Amino acid sequence: MTRRALVLGGGGLTGIAWEWGVLTGLAEAGVDLGDADLVIGTSAGSVVGAQVANGLAPRERYEAQLLPPDGELAAALGRGMMFRFALTMVGSRAPQRVRQRIGRIALSADTGVTEADRVGVIESRLPVREWPADTALHVTAVDTETGAFRIFDATSGVPLVRAVAASCAVPGVWPPVTIDGRRYMDGGMRSAANADLASGYERIVVLAPIPRGIGPMPGTFTQVEALRRESEVALLTPDPDAVAAFGKNPLDPIRRAAAARAGMIQSSALVEQVRKVWE
């Protein structure tokens, strides 16, 4: 039996919206990625993945992206924070050591938002808040203290909302999320999509709003190249119009509707590529 995996990468609010646009356009063209055996969600992709794996209709979730972004908190990575991130690349380039240094930023940053409030925002994005029963869902995060990579799933004993909130905890922007006494940050600190987790699946589709790696973080292109040695893989990344729709700040809720529409428009050019891999 052929096993299929859907990988949904990070990319902020615009990444969520673009992914829903693409998924909706594909589904309405007859290519429904919701029947994946495994869904892997990182950061923004964990929000989308939690809903895809629970069987929510893409069109409904797409239309939600077009509504005014009430309840969303605007944020941005300022120059000062970007400089602090750059400093984490100084010294040992071992990936886990770099993640430890980023974790220290996450723990010390004054984000102006409480952990409880941030978890509440994530909860508001999830119409279904339980782990899916029929589809394997993997949600990624990183331990702020050790830099260790963590995969949450239905067997982890962790509420889905907290797992997704941890995966979306951009260091320096949002507070880390506490799970079993540990504090976790964005799973994109290991890789923007963590596509390598789909290894072993025969057919794989990867949606990567931010495909390139930073420093020692492996980029999605590199991971997909490795997957293609054994699997059929379609890698979907934003086209120039979608990149323009995202704007300069992927965390700006005002850009959400434009990003969703861009994903929907782009999907028509992706249908045959995805169909060939998926079916």
pLDDT tens, position by position, 78-128: 666 665 666 677 667 789 999 999 999 999 988 899 999 999 999 999 999
pLDDT confidence of residue 93: 76
pLDDT confidence of residue 83: 57
pLDDT, tens digit, 9 for 90 and up, residues 35-53: 999 999 999 999 999 999 9
Domain assignment present for residue 188? The answer is yes
* Portion of the chain with pLDDT greater than 90, in percent: 85
Q: Is residue 145 packed enough to be buried (19+ CB in 10 Å), middle (13-18) or exposed (0-12)?
A: middle
The pTM assigned to this predicted structure is 0.95
CA distance 89 to 91: 6
Confidence tier at 266 by pLDDT (50, 70, 90): very high
Domain assignment present for residue 121? The answer is yes
pLDDT confidence of residue 85: 62
142 forms beta bridges with: 149, 185
Confidence tier at 69 by pLDDT (50, 70, 90): confident
Domain assignment present for residue 177? The answer is yes
Domain assignment present for residue 82? The answer is no
Domain assignment present for residue 91? The answer is no
CA distance 236 to 207: 5
Higher pLDDT, 208 or 77: 208
Domain assignment present for residue 106? The answer is no
Q: What average pLDDT does the segment 161-187 reach?
A: 97
pLDDT, tens digit, 9 for 90 and up, residues 207-230: 999 998 777 788 899 999 999 999
For residue 68, pLDDT over 80 is answered with: yes
pLDDT confidence of residue 123: 95
For residue 169, pLDDT over 90 is answered with: yes
Q: How many residues does the chain have?
A: 279
User: Which domain covers residue 139, as residue numbers?
Assistant: 4-73+112-278
The CATH number linked to 11 is: 3.40.1090.10
Domain assignment present for residue 209? The answer is yes
How far CA 218 is from CA of 48, 94, 215, 239, in Å, comes to: 22, 12, 8, 21
CA distance 20 to 24: 6
Average pLDDT of the chain is 93
Q: What angle separates helix 256-267 from helix 12-28, to the nearest 10 degrees?
A: 30
Higher pLDDT, 57 or 1: 57
pLDDT confidence of residue 90: 67
* Portion of the chain with pLDDT greater than 70, in percent: 95
pLDDT confidence of residue 213: 77
**Residues identified as active-site:** 43, 186
Tokens standing for 162? Answer: 């907290």
- Domain total for the chain? 1
Q: Reduced to 3 states, what is the DSSP secondary structure of residue 29?
A: coil
Domain assignment present for residue 172? The answer is yes
